[in-house]
Amino acid sequence: MHPVIFQIDLFGLLSEPWSLHTYGLLIAGGFLLAMVLAKKQAEREGEDPDRIVDLAFYVLVSGLVGSRIIFIFTKLDEYAKNPIEIVMFWRGGLVWYGGFIGAALFILYYTRRFHLNFFKFTDIMIPYTALAHAFGRLGCVAAGCCFGQPADLPWSIQFPVGSMAHHQQQADGLIGIGDPSLPVHPVQLYEAGFELLMFALLTLMRPYKRVHGQLLLTWMMIYPIFRSINEMYRGDKERGVYGWLSTSQYISIGVALAAVGLYVYIRKTKVPLPAPAR
pLDDT tens-digit map of 133-180: 999 999 999 988 889 999 999 999 999 988 989 999 999 999 988 899
Q: Other C-beta atoms within 10 Å of 135: how many?
A: 22
The residue range of the domain holding 250 is 4-9+21-149+185-269
List of residues 6+ apart from 56 with CB closer than 8 A: 31, 34, 35, 38
Confidence of residue 17 (pLDDT cuts 50, 70, 90): low
Domain membership of residue 141 (yes or no) is yes
| Separation CA 235–CA 14 (nearest Å) | 37
Long-range contact pairs involving 236-245 (C-beta distance under 8 Å, separation at least 24): 236/145, 236/146, 236/147, 236/164, 236/165, 236/168, 237/168, 238/74, 238/75, 238/93, 238/145, 239/74, 239/95, 239/146, 240/73, 240/74, 240/75
Tell me the torsion sign for CA atoms 178, 183, 189, 191: negative
List of residues 6+ apart from 158 with CB closer than 8 A: 180, 181, 182, 183, 184
Domain membership of residue 84 (yes or no) is yes
Domain membership of residue 60 (yes or no) is yes
Confidence of residue 115 (pLDDT cuts 50, 70, 90): very high
Domain membership of residue 137 (yes or no) is yes
Domain membership of residue 163 (yes or no) is no
Share of the chain above pLDDT 90, in %: 59
Instruction: Please tell me the predicted confidence (pLDDT) of residue 278.
Output: 47
Look at 82 and 167; give whichever has higher pLDDT: 167
Instruction: Please tell me the predicted confidence (pLDDT) of residue 43.
Output: 95
Q: pLDDT tens-digit profile of 195-217?
A: 999 999 999 999 999 899 999 99
| Separation CA 193–CA 196 (nearest Å) | 5
Domain membership of residue 168 (yes or no) is no
Residue 24 φ/ψ, nearest 5 degrees = -65, -40
CA distances from 32 to 51, 141, 194, 215 (A): 15, 20, 20, 21
* Structural domains counted in the chain: 1
pTM: 0.87
Domain membership of residue 48 (yes or no) is yes
Domain membership of residue 14 (yes or no) is no
